[in-house]
Amino acid sequence: MKKETTGSSDRIVHIYDRMFKKILTLSARAVIGLINGLFGTDYPPDSTITYNWTEHHDDHLKKTLADTIVTVNSSHSYHMEAQMYRDEEIEFRVFDYSYGHALKSRNDADILHFPEPRIIYLYNHENISDTREILLDFGTQGTFTYCVPVFKLLEHTTEELSSKNMVILIPFMILKLRDSIEKKRTPENMKLLQTLILDDILNVINENQALENITSADANKLRSLIQKLYNHLYSHYEEFIEGGLNDMMDEGLILEADILEAELTEKITKRVTEQVTQQVTEQVTQQVTQEVTEQVTQQVTGQVERQTREDMIRKLYAKLKDEKQVAELLEFPLDMVQEAVGL
């Protein structure tokens, strides 16, 4: 199949490319899960990730971004390239990006360390091989086969992605029904799509969030990407608009996001409250003796002064029998005098 080069297909490829790069910037825990699942590694969830955003220039001075290459624990690098349409030269692009990274990041003067590559196919297509290969011919030094393994996303189930901790690929699973829905928007297909998104996909996200394979923020971003993909792929169909599927998707995905936001707010509030309480407790422990002493002294002094003032008012009023004269003589407010003598 010839590579599509129309402006429309270029725009579509750009959409999926941006979304794929977006999921690679989720929490380190989530990205480590993807790397372990794709490459068969066993990095701990708290491993550190370094993103290699360096720009390279090819022979035609066109900028190329090696923005799908990540380094784990400052030691091993991994190159993940998502592909939406068939591209007969993708392995050359992967090699080019990997070579640029190896050249840029080399520590040993005479050694180039290439990142481990994977191509992730986001579409269904017959006869996709399990690897893409380049034969490197070094003349008299011999030949070497550069092999790029392929991961065919839509051949897997949501449960398989979850079991391998590759849940951050889950938004792209709504592509499973794209071809059939493009052909027919039957009630059966609408129901299948509704079940896929609101039951299967969202359940996987919720389960992985509960297991702490992904963070609450990750889950929220994944739901947001699902909403964007649904709007891009399906929301324009008249059958979905009239059949109410768009409304159900909005309500289901937005509700989940609202619940998540409430949970996240509660956790943040609890954490802040605990920190503030600890700080206040420490301060009170240091200041309590002084503050209590001052408060008690002020209270006792105030009570003594008030009692003395009221006794003076009563004695003078007993002689004059006129609260106004008492107020003038003592230079007290009239209402104070009246309160003291019970008027």
- Helix, strand, coil shares, percent, the chain, to 5: 60, 15, 25
pLDDT at residue 10, rounded to an integer: 55
**Tokens for 339?**
């309160």
Specify the pLDDT at position 80: 93
DSSP 2: P
Residue 328 is inside which H or E element, if any? helix 323-330
pLDDT of residue 91: 92
Q: How far is CA 331 from CA 218, 317, 337, in A?
A: 70, 14, 10
Dihedral over alpha carbons 146, 16, 174, 189 (to 10 degrees): -110
Helix axes 216-233, 7-23, angle to 10 degrees: 170
Mean pLDDT of successive 10-residue stretches along the chain, which has 343 residues: 45 75 91 96 94 58 57 93 84 91 83 93 83 94 95 93 94 90 87 89 92 90 89 87 81 61 63 70 62 67 75 74 77 84 79
Q: What pLDDT is stored for residue 5 in this prediction?
A: 43
201 Cβ contact partners less than 8 Å away, ≥ 6 residues apart: 158, 170, 171, 173, 174, 226
- Give one DSSP letter per residue of 63-99, joined into a string: EEE-TTEEEETTTEEEEEEEESS--TTHHHHHHHHHH
Do the Cβ atoms of 75 and 48 come closer than 8 Å? no
Burial class, 161, CB count within 10 angstroms (exposed 0-12 / middle 13-18 / buried 19+): buried
Give 23's contacts (C-beta < 8 A, 6+ positions apart): 30, 34, 168, 169, 171, 221, 222, 225
What's residue 267's pLDDT?
65
- Which pLDDT score is estimated for 205? 93
309, two tokens? 């003032």
